[in-house]
Structure 1
Amino acid sequence: MDLVVTSLEVWDGVWRRNQHLVAGLLRRDPDLRVLFVEPATDPLHAALGASQPRLGRGLRRGPQLDGIHPDALWLLEPTKWLPRRVDRRLDERWARQVLRAAQTLEMDRPVLWVNDPRGSLLVEATQWPSLYDVTDDWTVADRSTAETERIKTQEHVLLTRCDEVVVCSPALEASKGALRAVTLVPNGVDASAYLVGHERPSDLPAGAVAVYVGTLHGDRLDVDLCAQTALALAGSGRLVLVGPDSLAAEQRSRLLSAGAVLLGARPSDEVPAYLVHADVLVVPHVVTPFTDSLDPIKLYEYQAAGRPVVSTPVAGFRDVADDLMTVAASSAFVAAVVDAVAHAGRAGRVADEATRAQRSSAADWSRRVDQMVEILARLHARGAGS
């Protein structure tokens, strides 16, 4: 079977849902081939933002992965030359590039897996069996009116024309499921990575640390709350943020001035070390309709690490019954983190190995792959029969 995946994320060392599921599928089926379409690079935007502009790397083999044949995974990174408001045919050009790449790989009738909503153009342009995997509700994100309308139009096509729709959270199951049949496939965790010993990372500050792991972005992260937390911890601990940095320069400066430590992105196989050596794990997220649509991967990772957690009342964390979980409104969050750090060494403030193993095994990515195997088999059969 051939599979074309239009992803909202690049394939790099920071693995997210798409990478875990695709790699798991490739290891299960030696005959599977995947074309993984990454977001386009934007040299003009990068240059205007004082970052290093670069062209997309085009079609190329994916990285060498254990248990996966070198010709099984292909990556496509396009280049976005002009803003959408200038290039009105930007998305059409993107779709043609994806189709050319599939033809180059002799993928005559692949299954289409859409995560990036503009994959709707491929649904309209082909007769490929199709799956829409909804991981974020971008229709309620804080975007321009034009961007929101574009996403709503694309999602309408996906919800009405895709053969299967998968959602990652109960909130998405309720909202998208009101419009059509959907299948809930939650996010997960690499359970085995948390059941081995990890040395304390050398770049973790000495002393007590409250650690956040995830992409630093204003759609999710409450930057003001982070700054207040970092200031309140001064003298007793440090707030450490680990993950890709998508903050505005002013936001980043505010955090650093408050004493927060920003370590940047770390490969996924290094993340467990930061989590298990944290005194407290934190989730200083904004609570919005957008964050309410999410199924945070960090929920499963934090529980697998077995450390005390302090979170704002966001989806996932507010719904868990866990003695190590403290859910606090933003007005009480800072005090809750300071208290958790002060009592982090108290007996019973860490989950034992058996408890962690039980929790994480139930949410292991292999179980999510099992679900996707069944869904893709239905799609493949539908394609073969048409």
Structure 2
Amino acid sequence: MLSLEPWDRVWRRNQHLVAGLLRADPGLRVLFVEPAADPLHDLVSGRRPRRGSGLRTVSLDGVAEGRLRACRPTKLLPRRWDRAADRRLATGVRRAAARSGFTGPLLWVNDPGGAAVLALTGWPALYDITDDWLEADRTPAEHARLVRDEALLLERCAEVVVCSRGLQTTKGASRRVTLIPNAVEVADYRRPRPRPADLPTGPVAVYVGTVHRDRMDLDLCVATARALAGRGHLVLVGPAPLGSADRARLVGAGVVLLGAKDRSAVPGYLQHADVLVVPHVVTPFTESLDPIKLYEYRAVGRPVVSTPVAGFRDSDDPRVVVAGSDDFPAVVAGAVPATTAFPVGVGGETGNEVRGETDDWQDRVMRMRAVLDRLVGPDRGGIG
């Protein structure tokens, strides 16, 4: 699995699917390849430079020790200085796979840079597209590389999976794709939790997710925090890979940045929000997304205010209010006092209904297993 995110305490699509597959199939083993460490970029960005880790065993409840391993390669130099950087990384992945005992593995590509591994190895491959990086704001050189990598993956991968209907339309125009949306651990998010100790006292408008310029409208966050001044707080829960100037601007406006939280703690922040918010930019890139928070927010049944982004824009949930950027701060501020009377609970008068098991990760695991079984082929009896 060539992942866009590390295996850490913040679980995203890749972790949920891999964990579910491992628990469902005692014979399955996975090597989870994390994004490469970039010590030079760390240094330029004012962070402590770190090299990638070697092979390590990842402990996972319900999975025998050793069946899940992870590694993080190291990119020593930028691609513009080292034209062989991608091949060097791919060679390292092949070496890690051999050291893990893999002789004829399946390749699961989530990071488009994994095209180099496919070109080097020729392993049977699945391309799981969770973001349309061709629509993201990148330098011309980065964009050209993404175009080349995706063209190779779409041409040579035996199976292509997409997470959203937007991606189904764009990527499915030239080949067959399989739609497997995101989901939520429904039962876990419906179990009542105590109020997290680091949530500010008083009313709170809460966002859970990565605070990144590709998705977040930072100007809108500033305006919303100011609109809430004296009435409550805008709280952003999740990794925040922002520059120091952006971070200072948010904090100066009164935004509370709580950082990344263990996945087990996330439901508590959602359940104790007076209103959940989605201050996303509306761009071709965000149109490609199927936000996991759509399912998480729905599961806890709290009121939601969102910009008109994919998923939330088309929701038929009466608790979801869609507002343009001009109206968003006032709508959030108006929702805060209106929602303080809502008790936190599951079901009953709080209206915490979810759409049932079809929105649960177990359903998505079964769908992904069917794709992997097609990739292996009937002669080898599926991945089991």
Shorter chain as normaliser: what TM range?
over 0.9
- 1:378 matched to 2:374? The reply is yes
5+ residue gaps, structure 1, are: none
Please say if 1:284 is aligned against 2:279.
Answer: yes
Q: Say yes or no: does 1:40 pair with 2:24.
A: no
Secondary structure of 1:123's partner? helix
Contact 1:226–1:284 under 8 Å retained in 2: yes
Alignment of 1:163-182 (within 5 A): 163-182=158-177
2:114 to 90, 113, 119: 119
C-alpha distance in 2, partners of 1:202/1:136?
Answer: 33
Which 4+ stretches in 1 moved above 2 angstroms? 345-362, 382-385
Q: Which whole-Å CA distance do the structure 2 matches of 1:220 and 1:291 have between them?
A: 6
Q: Does the aligned pair in 1 maintain the 2:192–2:346 contact within 8 Å?
A: no
Task: Pick closer, same or farther for the CA change 1:379–1:319 going to 2, 3 Å.
Answer: same
- Give the SS at the match of 1:125: helix
Change (3 A) 1:226 1:360: farther
Q: TM-score, normalization: structure 2?
A: 0.96
Deviations 1:152-189 (A, max 9, x none): 00000010110000000000000000010000000010
Show the counterpart of 2:16.
20
Partner of 2:91: 96
Distance apart, 1:195 and its partner CA: 2.2
- What letter is aligned with 1:363? D
Q: CA deviation at 1:360?
A: 5.2
Provide the residue aligned with 1:202 in structure 2: 197
1:366 matched to 2:362: yes
Correspondence for 1:52 among 40, 48, 55: 48
Write the mapping of 1:326-337 to structure 2, written as runs, cut at 5 A. Answer: 326-337=321-332
Equivalences for 1:137-148 in 2 at 5 Å? 137-148=132-143
- For structure 2, list consecutive stretches of 5 or more residues without a partner in the other structure: none
Specify the code of the residue in structure 1 equivalent to 2:33. Answer: V
CA drift at 1:71: 1.0
Deviations 1:309-345 (A, max 9, x none): 0000001100110110000010110111011112013
Q: 5 Å matches for 1:162-241?
A: 162-241=157-236
Q: 1:382/1:251 Cα in 2 relative to 1: closer, same or farther (>3 Å)?
A: farther
Aligned to 1:313: 308
Could you tell me which residue of structure 1 aligns to residue 81 of structure 2?
86
The count of aligned residue pairs is 380
Alpha-carbon spacing, 1:250–1:109, altered in 2? closer, same or farther (3 Å)? same
Distance 2:303 2:262 in 1: 23
- Is the alpha carbon distance of 1:56 and 1:100 closer, same or farther for their aligned partners in structure 2, counting shifts above 3 Å? same
Determine the C-alpha separation between the residues in 2 that align with 1:59 and 1:266: 25
Letter in 1 for 2:60: L
The verdict on how the C-alpha distance between 1:349 and 1:273 changes in structure 2, with shifts beyond 3 A counting, is: closer
Q: SS where residue 212 of structure 1 aligns?
A: strand
Quick one: structure 1 residues 23 and 38, their matched pair in 2 at CA, closer, same or farther if it must change by over 3 Å? same
What's the CA shift for 1:347? 6.0
Q: Specify the code of the residue in structure 2 equivalent to 1:116.
A: D
Map 1:241-320; keep pairs closer than 5 Å. Answer: 241-320=236-315
1:6 aligns with 2:6: no
Code of the aligned partner of 2:41: H
| Deviation per residue, 1:52-102 (Å, 9 max, x gap) | 21111121111x111111111010101111111111110000000000111
Shift of 1:202: 0.4
Q: Which amino acid aligns with 1:20?
A: H
Query: How many angstroms apart in 2 are the aligned matches of 1:324 and 1:348?
Result: 15
Between the aligned partners of 1:320 and 1:149, the Cα distance in structure 2 is 35
Compute the displacement of 1:126 (Å).
2.3
Kindly state the Cα deviation for residue 147 of structure 1 after the two structures are TM-superposed.
Answer: 0.3
> Per the alignment, do residues 83 and 382 of structure 1 end up closer, same or farther by CA in structure 2, a change over 3 Å counting?
farther
- One-letter code aligned to 2:214: D
8 Å Cα contact 2:276-2:303 kept in structure 1: yes
**Mean Cα deviation higher: 226-235 or 45-54:** 45-54
Q: Do the aligned residues in 2 keep the contact of 1:200 with 1:273 (CA within 8 Å)?
A: yes
Map of 1:61 onto structure 2 = 57
Distance 1:355 1:365, change over 3 A: farther
**Which residue identity lines up with residue 113 of structure 1 in the other structure?**
W
Do the aligned partners of residues 25 and 355 (structure 1) sit closer, same or farther apart at CA in structure 2, a change above 3 Å counting? farther
- Cα-Cα RMSD: 1.6
1:47 Cα shift? 1.5
Aligned to 1:282, what secondary structure does the other structure show? strand
Opposite residue 40 of structure 1, the aligned amino acid is A
> Contact conserved, 1:300 with 1:360, CA < 8 A, in 2?
no
Give the direction of change, closer, same or farther, for the CA distance of 1:313–1:349 in structure 2 (3 Å limit).
Answer: farther
